[in-house]
């Protein structure tokens, strides 16, 4: 079935017509958490996936003795290949996704005392890079239907010091780019796309990461394109790419500016190695197929889960023409499960052999953020009045609620056969059927 576009009607009929997946027949039995048999005994596909392609690529770099981008060609080749794949004009490979964001903030001139708008439903790196600049992270509440930054809540938070709008394409789903880009243009604020979880996701047929002033990607081990660690930035502007190149290369740009050891800017060493680029080029040979399989499986799982209430998959904005499904995210409603609390549902589902998690805690209320913005350095950058106002603004009730409802499945669970989706749905059904027993247990 891989590679065949899915017709939701057909797949539903297929689902109803065929025998239940292995293990599904056990559904009427006791929940595994209460001592019954598991719906699924075998592990989901392991991640990463690799073979001789990676081995040979790594050995070639090793034997060449050209291990860094200054002496080899793999990093350069990867940048060209990733630009082509995404349709971006320019690409810069970086040490990781965090440094891609950090470089972006620097070349867009985010300084101490500036403000950056970010979502609270994201990985901590999104806020960490803002704090490294001594800028103020201003959190925009989440649209719980999509798990993305709520574009309707951005404008009231913009001040004269707002320097960058930095939405995230969370989970491989796409934020409301049209609305956010319109605000960025109207208010003349640069936009950074944190696309660290959204490799090859699309908005209106064009790859994400190519819409903003920069688009940042991570190739950390858990991500859909993986070299252990690694990152990249996409640009449409050659000059911005040149400044980013210089920043990531200790301030030394490609354009000659005079004598040796003369520098275009301050910077850091945030370069990708030749080894990582070689792995990425090998991993990219599988990317298309993996994306197609994830999308087909995710669509099928969405249709299965929507047959009953209680586990509502994240919606997509109409402009999202491809969801990269780094995560399969859904909202849990205990009402549909006899009042079974979310955390107990997660335990019961894990016990059935379906790994799952409750996802992020609210980032905006993590104590480390307050501790940082009340530190000595920050007090020199922001008035007491601004910090007090930040406290009042820093409420994201929709996000707080979402963090209590979320259920995540990771991307590797979507790259196996379709019958894996049948088992996920079967385990959910089994828990729903026995929810009252689980509540009492």
Which residues make up the interface to ligand PLP (CB under 6 A)?
96-98, 122-123, 125-126, 168, 194, 196-197, 218, 220, 231
Of 15 and 408, nearer to ligand PLP (C-beta) is 408
Contact present, 76 and 388 (Cβ < 8 Å): no
Contact present, 439 and 340 (Cβ < 8 Å): yes
Of 94 and 423, nearer to ligand PLP (C-beta) is 94
Of 97 and 120, nearer to ligand PLP (C-beta) is 97
Of 64 and 357, nearer to ligand PLP (C-beta) is 357
The Cα–Cα gap between 212 and 161 comes to 19
CB of 197 to ligand PLP, least distance (A): 5
- CB-based burial label for 154 (10 Å; 0-12, 13-18, 19+): buried
CB of 143 to ligand PLP, least distance (A): 16
Of 44 and 123, nearer to ligand PLP (C-beta) is 123
The Cα–Cα gap between 15 and 306 comes to 14
CB of 193 to ligand PLP, least distance (A): 10
Q: How many CA atoms lie within 13 A of 406 on its CB side?
A: 30
CB of 220 to ligand PLP, least distance (A): 4
Q: CA of 311: how far to CAs of 100, 228, 249, 336, 405, in Å?
A: 35, 32, 47, 9, 9
Of 57 and 168, nearer to ligand PLP (C-beta) is 168
Contact present, 431 and 27 (Cβ < 8 Å): no
CB of 402 to ligand PLP, least distance (A): 16
Of 197 and 411, nearer to ligand PLP (C-beta) is 197
Of 147 and 300, nearer to ligand PLP (C-beta) is 147
Q: Look at residues 105, 89, 80 and name the one whose alpha carbon lies nearest to residue 239.
A: 89
Contact present, 126 and 101 (Cβ < 8 Å): yes
CA angle centred on 346, ends 334 and 420, rounded to 5°: 110
Of 126 and 423, nearer to ligand PLP (C-beta) is 126
Q: Look at residues 56, 24, 91 and name the one whose alpha carbon lies nearest to residue 245.
A: 91
CB of 324 to ligand PLP, least distance (A): 12
CB of 144 to ligand PLP, least distance (A): 18
According to DSSP, residue 6 is labeled P
For 246, the token pair is: 């210089």
CB of 35 to ligand PLP, least distance (A): 37
The Cα–Cα gap between 221 and 97 comes to 11
Ranked by CB distance to ligand PLP, the top (closest) residue is 97
Contact present, 144 and 331 (Cβ < 8 Å): yes
The helix or strand, by DSSP H or E, that contains position 230, with its residue range, turns out to be: none
CB of 170 to ligand PLP, least distance (A): 7
Contact present, 357 and 346 (Cβ < 8 Å): yes
């Amino acid at each position: 079935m891989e590679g065949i576009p899915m017709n939701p009607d057909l797949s539903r009929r297929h689902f109803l017509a065929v025998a239940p997946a292995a293990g599904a027949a056990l559904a009427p039995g006791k929940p595994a958490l209460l001592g019954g048999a598991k719906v699924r005994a075998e592990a989901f596909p392991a991640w990463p996936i690799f073979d001789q392609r990676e081995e040979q690529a790594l050995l070639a770099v090793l034997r060449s003795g050209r291990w860094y981008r200054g002496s080899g060609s793999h990093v350069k080749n990867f940048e060209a290949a990733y630009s082509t794949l995404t349709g971006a004009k320019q690409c810069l490979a970086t040490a990781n996704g965090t440094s891609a964001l950090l470089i972006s903030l620097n070349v867009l001139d985010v300084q101490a005392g500036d403000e950056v708008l970010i979502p609270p439903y994201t990985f901590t790196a999104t806020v960490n890079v803002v704090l490294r600049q001594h800028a103020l992270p201003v959190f925009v509440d989440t649209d719980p239907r999509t798990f993305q930054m709520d574009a309707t809540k951005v404008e009231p938070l913009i001040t004269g010091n707002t320097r960058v709008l930095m939405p995230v394409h969370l989970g491989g789903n796409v934020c409301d780019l049209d609305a956010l880009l319109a605000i960025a243009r109207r208010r003349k604020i640069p936009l950074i796309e944190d696309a660290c979880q959204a490799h090859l996701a699309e908005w209106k047929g064009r790859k994400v990461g190519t819409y903003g002033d920069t688009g940042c990607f991570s190739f950390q081990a858990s991500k859909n394109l993986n070299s252990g660690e690694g990152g990249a930035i996409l640009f449409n502007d050659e000059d911005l790419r040149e400044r980013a190149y210089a920043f990531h290369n200790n301030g030394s740009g490609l354009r000659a500016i005079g004598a040796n050891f003369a520098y275009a800017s301050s910077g850091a060493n945030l370069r990708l190695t030749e080894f990582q680029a070689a792995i990425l080029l090998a991993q990219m040979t599988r990317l298309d197929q993996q994306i197609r399989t994830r999308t087909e499986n995710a669509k099928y799982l969405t249709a299965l889960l929507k047959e009953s209430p209680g586990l509502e998959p994240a919606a997509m904005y109409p402009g999202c023409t491809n969801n990269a499904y780094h995560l399969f995210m859904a909202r849990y409603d205990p009402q549909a499960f006899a009042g079974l609390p979310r955390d107990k549902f997660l335990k019961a589902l894990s016990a059935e052999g379906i790994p799952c998690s409750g996802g992020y805690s609210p980032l905006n209320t993590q104590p480390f953020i307050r501790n940082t913005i009340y530190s000595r350095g920050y007090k020199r950058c922001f008035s007491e009045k601004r910090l007090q106002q930040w406290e009042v603004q820093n409420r994201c009730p929709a996000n707080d609620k979402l963090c209590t409802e979320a259920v995540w499945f990771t991307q590797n669970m979507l790259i196996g056969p379709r019958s894996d989706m049948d088992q996920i749905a079967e385990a959910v059904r089994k828990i729903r059927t026995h929810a009252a027993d689980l509540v009492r247990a």
